[in-house]
């Protein structure tokens, strides 16, 4: 996979013909991470697919205004994913049946369901870490996930979460300390 830095450089071109190619590069570099992000949260492969799809479509719609000079694509995309998931949760909390889908929407082929189910299984360790983070604040949980599981730098995580870098670093440090303390307490 190409680095986000290289994606950022390529995107400075900005010509009409290159937009699709640029977006494809962003997609290919990040869709795995976005899928994993949802696979940690949802047990249903179809839901993981829907949320990933929604994130990509929203990102494409906003791509015209995405400015790589202000930050890499990866945190930008994770910010959109977080928003999509929050919206999904809010609607689920309102009692709406999130699994109910409109007629005419294509279901996933069996092999892709199996593939996503495998990805959901593979995120078990990530889910366990998230569960251990339940004692932390929402910001600390998100920081730990983005940095420790999704591989963002603290700077990128701060951009994705919309908080100052110093705040992110401080919260991340505190979260790690609390998690370590929790580990020792379990022993």
Partner 1 sequence: MSKFEDHLWQEFVREHGHDLAQMCRSAARPTLRPRVVAASGLGLAGVGVALALVLGAATAAPAFAVTRNHDGTVTVEILRSAGVAGANAELRQLGVRAEVMSKAPAACQTYAFEQVAPTTGGHQIANAHWTIDPRTIPAGRRLVLTPASEGNSGNSGSGGQVYNCPDNFPYRPSSPASGDSGNGGSS
Question: Residue from 80, 152, 160, 172 that binds partner 1 (CB under 8 A)?
Answer: 80
Question: Residue from 2, 5, 6, 112 that binds partner 1 (CB under 8 A)?
Answer: 112
Residue 185 binds partner 1, judged by CB under 8 A: no
Q: 69 — phi, psi (to 5°)?
A: -70, -15
Stretch that binds partner 1, among 48-56, 127-135, 159-167, 175-183 (CB under 8 A): 48-56
What distance lies between CA 64 and its chain's CA centroid? 20
Query: Rounded to a whole number, what is the largest CA-CA distance in the chain?
Result: 58
Task: Confirm if 22 and 13 have CB atoms less than 8 A apart.
Answer: yes
Window 85 to 104, contacts with partner 1 (CB under 8 A)? 87-88, 91-92, 94, 96-98, 100-104
Residue 64 binds partner 1, judged by CB under 8 A: yes
Cβ proximity to partner 1: between 52 and 123 the closer is 52
Cβ proximity to partner 1: between 31 and 176 the closer is 31
Task: Confirm if 98 and 47 have CB atoms less than 8 A apart.
Answer: yes
Task: Confirm if 5 and 72 have CB atoms less than 8 A apart.
Answer: yes
Tokens of 24: 């494809």
Question: Residue from 105, 110, 134, 138 that binds partner 1 (CB under 8 A)?
Answer: 105
Task: Confirm if 146 and 161 have CB atoms less than 8 A apart.
Answer: yes
Task: Confirm if 7 and 25 have CB atoms less than 8 A apart.
Answer: yes
**Interface positions with partner 1 (CB under 8 A):** 11, 14-17, 19-20, 23-24, 27-28, 31-32, 35, 49-54, 56-58, 60-67, 80, 84, 87-88, 91-92, 94, 96-98, 100-105, 108-109, 111-112, 115-116, 119
């Amino acid at each position: 996979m190409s680095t986000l830095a290289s994606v950022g450089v390529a995107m400075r071109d900005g010509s009409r013909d290159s937009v699709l190619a640029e977006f494809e590069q962003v997609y290919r570099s990040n869709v795995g991470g976005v899928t994993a992000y949802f696979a940690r949260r949802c047990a249903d492969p179809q839901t993981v697919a829907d949320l990933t799809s929604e994130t990509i479509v929203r990102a494409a719609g906003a791509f015209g205004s995405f400015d790589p000079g202000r930050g890499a694509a990866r945190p930008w995309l994770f910010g959109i994913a977080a928003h999509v998931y929050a919206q999904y949760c809010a609607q689920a909390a309102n009692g709406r049946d999130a699994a109910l889908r409109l007629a005419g929407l294509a279901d996933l082929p069996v092999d892709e369901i199996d593939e996503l189910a495998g990805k959901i299984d593979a995120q078990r360790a990530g889910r366990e870490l998230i569960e251990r983070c339940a004692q932390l604040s929402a910001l600390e949980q998100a920081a730990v996930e983005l940095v420790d599981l999704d591989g963002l730098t603290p700077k990128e995580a701060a951009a994705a979460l919309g908080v100052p870098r110093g705040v992110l670093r401080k919260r991340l440090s505190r979260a790690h300390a609390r998690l370590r303390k929790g580990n020792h307490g379990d022993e």
